[in-house]
Structure 1
Amino acid sequence: MKSRLTFFFATLLTAMALAYCKGPAKLSYRNISNFYKPDLQLAGLSYALFNLNDSITNLYVRIPMKGLRYLPDNGAGKSRFRLSYQLFDGFEKGVLIDSASFTGMDSLTGRAIFMDSVPIRALAGNDYVLSIELLDLNAGNNYGAFLSLQKRQIYNVHDFLLLDESGIPLMRNFLYRNEKVRIRSNRLSDSLHFKYFTEKYLPGTPPFGFPDNIAINAADSVFGVKFRDGVTSSGTVPGEGRYLLYGGGSPVMVIHRFYDGFPDIGSTGQMRESLRYISTDAEYREMSQLPPRAAIDEFWIKLTGHSERALSQIRRYYGRVEEANRFFSLSREGWKSDRGMIYMVFGPPNLVYRNTLSEQWTYGEAGNPLSLRFLFNLETLPDNQSEYFLIRSETYRTPWHMAVSNWRR
C-alpha cells in the first residue's frame, strides 16, 4: 500500500527474534491504564491484522500525522517517529516470538494520514498477543496498544479484512448508512453467508446488581456472500444491527451498524438513553415520556441548578460516553458495556492489568486496601463474539452511589 506522504520506513532497529526467547516482561505485568486515558492517546491511530497465509500476518497501521509534533529542520517542519512491535505467545508466559522497530519521517504540514503495512512472522496453529508502540520522537509521547492475533482455528477472525470501496483497510468493524465496503479473505473462492440481527443491547446494570442474561435470538435474515480472487464485490449493509459472517459453521467476523456518527454521540435520543447510569428509575421513566432534547435539558438543569454548570457537566459526561465507545466497543456500543459503564461513572482507572481471560482495574494505589478494584472476565457469547463482564458484588453499592452523586451535584 502506497502512502500519500513523503514518508519512509528506514533502518530496521531491532532484529527479529525468530528463536524463542524471553521478553522484557510478561504482558500481564504491564500497567496499561494509559490505553484508557484520552489525553495520552493519539486520536485516530488505529491498527488492523490480516493473515496472508499460514506463516505471515500483515499489520496495517493508520497514523494521523497532524497529531505528531513537527519541528523546524532546514526551513521545513518535520515529524520523526518510531513504530515498534513485539509478538508474544500469550499474556502470561512472556515468550517473545518476533519483534522489530522502524523509524519514519514526514516533511509535510501534518494534515495527512499515513497508512502502510508491516509483515509479521506468525505461524498457524497458535494464537498470539501483539504489543505495539508508536513513539513521537519530537514530542517524546509514546502510544501503546495490545492486539490479539488469532491463527489457531481453521477459520479465524483475522483471515478476513474489511475494506473500503477502493480496497483500503477500513481499520474498524462498524459501518455507516450507505457506506460501500468489501471483504478480503485469504481463501480465494469461498462462498460464506451472513446472519443479520436487529436487536440492540441495553445498558449494563449497576455493579452491585445482577448481570443481564444474554439471550440467544434467531437471525432476522440470512444472505450469502461470494469471494472471487479473495475479495467480495462492494456493497452496503441495509440496516442497524449486527452482521455475523459464518465460516465452517461458526461466526468468524462481525460487522456492526450502530448508528450514523458513531463513536460520537449521534442524536439527542442517544444522549437521553446514556443518562441511565446516573438517573433514578423514576427520572428515567419521566425522561422517556418527554422529547429527547427537553428531557436532557430538564434533567441537567434540575440537577445542577445553573445553566453554565449544566453545560460543563454535559460536556464532561458525554465526553465520557464517546471515549467509552472508542475504548470498549466489542459486541456492543462501548458505553453499554460493563467496562464502559464503570469508566463513565468513575473515570479512567489508575491501574489496569490484562491477561488472557480477564482485566483488572484499580482506582487508587497498588496494594492499598482502600483502593477500589473491579475485575472483568472475558467471556465468549453465544454468537462467538467476546465481551468483558464485570464480577458484580454488593460491596460496590456504596462507592457506586457516591460516584453517581458526584455527577448529580
Structure 2
Amino acid sequence: MRNLASLLLLFLVLLAAGPLQAAPRRDFANQYQPRRTVEVDTRREGDSLRVYLRFPNRIAQRRRVPLRVMGWIDFDARRPLWQDTVRGAARRLRPDGDVDRLSFALPISRLVSGHALSVAFGDAEDAMGGDAAWLRLTPENLNRSFIFIDSLSRPLMRRYVRAREVFGVDAYAPGQTLNAYRYPLSSLAAAPPMATSNTLGQQPRTLGLQDSARFNADQLLRLPAGLYLLRLGNRGPSQGLLVEENRFPQLTSADELIAPLIYVSTSEERQKLFDAPDPKKAVDYFWLGVASDDQDKARQLIRQFYGRVVVANTIFSAHKAGWLTDRGMLYQILGAPETVYRSGNEERWVYRGYQSLNTIFVFRAKPSIFAPDNYELVRRPEHEFLWYAAVELWRKGLIAQPGR
C-alpha cells in the first residue's frame, strides 16, 4: 500500500506540473538564410583537419566569447560526443569587409566519418543550436588536402566560380600536379514536387568527359564554363567545381532570366519570350502582364522572384546551378522554409500555415563526387494542391510567402 500511495502521489505531482514536454528539435532553418549562415570548409593537413570559417555581418567581432567546437553522432543527437574550445580564437579573427574569417585545426583522431561538427562563438547552447556552423564529416572533407582560394589567397568557401574568374587551389603539400576534367553543364530543371517516376523519366547515369588539362596546383586558374572534377595527382583527393557564365550567381542575359520561369509559366509562353526581338524587354512585359500593368508591383515581383533565384544559386549550386536543384526549386517558389529538421540522411522542410495548410517536404541525401551535400525531394501526390496554389499566386501577381 505504501508503494501504491507513493506512486499515486508522484502521478498527482506530475499532473499538477502540466504535460511532460520533450526537448525541442534542433531547427536548421537559418542555414538557408545567406546573411545568417556561417560558412565552413576543411582541408586535411597530416594528422589534423583544418577548419575554415566565414562569419557574416561581422558577428564574430561582436561576440568576444569562446569559440566552441562539438562533435555529434548525428545532426539530431541531443548530447555531443565531445566538446572543446579553441584557444585564442578572438586573436585569430581576420576582418574582411563585412565578414570575419578564422581557421583552426582539430586532431583527425577525434573525427569519425558520418559524424557531425558544430562550431559557434558563445556558450554551449550556441554551439548546440541550429544557427551554429554545422558540417557533416564525410570521407571527402576528411581527406581532401586542398581548398579553393580567390585571387587574394583567401578561402573561396564555395563550389562555383564564374567563367574566367581567377581562382586557385591551395594544397597542403606544395609542388603537386592538378588534373582538371571537364564535363557538360546540366540545364535540367527539377520536376514538380508531385511528379511520378514516369514523369521524371530516365536520368543520365554517367557524364561524358569533354576534355582535360593539367596544371601546377599552386598556379592561378581561369576555366571556361563546365562542370569540373579537380584532382591532385592521378589518384589523389578530388573536388567538384561548377564554372558558370556571366555574373553567376546573378542573372544578366535574357536566357538566364527566361529559364527560371519554367516553374511558373508554360512552354509556349517561354518560347515566345525566347523568340521575341528583344527578349529582355519581353521578360519585363511578362511580369507587367502578371501585375495587371501595375509597374510598382511588377518591379516587386521581379525583385522577389529573381532574388530567390540568386539565393538558390548561392546556397545550392554544386553539380548544377542552384535554382535547378530540388531544394532550389522549392526555395524559389515557396520561399525559405520556416523550419528545417535534419536526421540521418534526411532533411525535412516545414511550411506552417501556408495556404491554410501545414506542409512537410522530405529530402533524402544523394551525394555524388560533384555534390557531396546534394539532397533529392521525395515526391508525393499530396504536394500537388499546395504547389499549384503557390504557382497560381505568382501567376496572379501575388508573392508567395511562407508562414514565417
Per-residue deviation, 1:374? 0.8
Alignment correspondent of 1:238: 223
Map 1:28-107 → 2, pairs under 5 A: 29-37=25-33, 41-42=35-36, 45-54=38-47, 56-64=48-56, 67-68=58-59, 79-82=62-65, 83-91=67-75, 95-100=80-85, 104=90
Residues 197 and 242, structure 1, Cα contact 8 Å, conserved in 2: yes
Distance 1:281 1:245 in 2: 36
Among 363, 379, 383, the alignment partner of 2:351 is 363
Say which SS state the counterpart of residue 81 (structure 2) adopts.
strand
Cα separation, partners in 2 of 1:35 and 1:271, compared to 1, 3 Å: same
Cα separation, partners in 2 of 1:68 and 1:346, compared to 1, 3 Å: same
Alignment correspondent of 2:10: none
Residues 29 and 130, structure 2, Cα contact 8 Å, conserved in 1: no
Per-residue deviation, 1:357? 1.3
Alignment correspondent of 1:169: 155
Distance 1:376 1:362 in 2: 11
Query: Given residue 42 of structure 2, which amino acid in structure 1 is its aligned partner?
Result: L
Residues 249 and 310, structure 2, Cα contact 8 Å, conserved in 1: yes
Alignment correspondent of 1:321: 309
Cα separation, partners in 2 of 1:164 and 1:323, compared to 1, 3 Å: closer
Map 1:297-336 → 2, pairs under 5 A: 297-305=284-292, 306-336=294-324
Per-residue deviation, 1:385? 4.5
Distance 2:330 2:371 in 1: 24
Distance 2:95 2:151 in 1: 27
Alignment correspondent of 1:352: 340
Alignment correspondent of 2:100: 114
1:271 matches 2:260: no
Distance 2:218 2:369 in 1: 29
Q: Deviations over 1:139-166 (max 9, x none)?
A: xx9943322233x47x956322112344
Aligned residues: 357
Alignment correspondent of 2:244: 258
Among 213, 217, 228, the alignment partner of 1:223 is 213
Distance 1:302 1:314 in 2: 12
Alignment correspondent of 1:397: 384
Per-residue deviation, 1:387? 1.7
Name the % identity.
Answer: 24
Query: Given residue 34 of structure 1, which amino acid in structure 2 is its aligned partner?
Result: N
Per-residue deviation, 1:295? 2.5
Per-residue deviation, 1:67? 4.5
Query: Given residue 219 of structure 1, which amino acid in structure 2 is its aligned partner?
Result: L
1:207 matches 2:200: no
The structure with the largest alpha-carbon Rg is 2
Among 280, 283, 287, the alignment partner of 1:296 is 283
Task: Judging by fraction of residues, say which structure has more helix.
Answer: 2
Q: Which runs of 5+ in 1 are unaligned?
A: 1-24, 70-77, 227-231
Task: Judging by fraction of residues, say which structure has more strand.
Answer: 1
Cα separation, partners in 2 of 1:267 and 1:406, compared to 1, 3 Å: same
Alignment correspondent of 2:18: none
Residues 89 and 97, structure 1, Cα contact 8 Å, conserved in 2: no
Distance 1:287 1:99 in 2: 56
Map 1:7-26 → 2, pairs under 5 A: none
Alignment correspondent of 1:372: 359
Per-residue deviation, 1:266? 3.6
Per-residue deviation, 1:244? 0.2
Distance 1:353 1:301 in 2: 38
Residues 337 and 349, structure 2, Cα contact 8 Å, conserved in 1: yes
Say which SS state the counterpart of residue 178 (structure 1) adopts.
coil
Residues 319 and 370, structure 2, Cα contact 8 Å, conserved in 1: no
Residues 86 and 98, structure 1, Cα contact 8 Å, conserved in 2: yes
Distance 2:62 2:371 in 1: 42
Q: Which runs of 5+ in 2 are unaligned?
A: 1-21, 124-128, 397-404
Runs of 4+ in 1 over 6 A off after TM superposition: none
Residues 159 and 318, structure 2, Cα contact 8 Å, conserved in 1: no
Distance 2:76 2:132 in 1: 18
Cα separation, partners in 2 of 1:355 and 1:187, compared to 1, 3 Å: farther
Cα separation, partners in 2 of 1:46 and 1:299, compared to 1, 3 Å: same
Residues 133 and 142, structure 1, Cα contact 8 Å, conserved in 2: no
CA RMSD between the two structures? 3.6
Residues 130 and 147, structure 1, Cα contact 8 Å, conserved in 2: yes
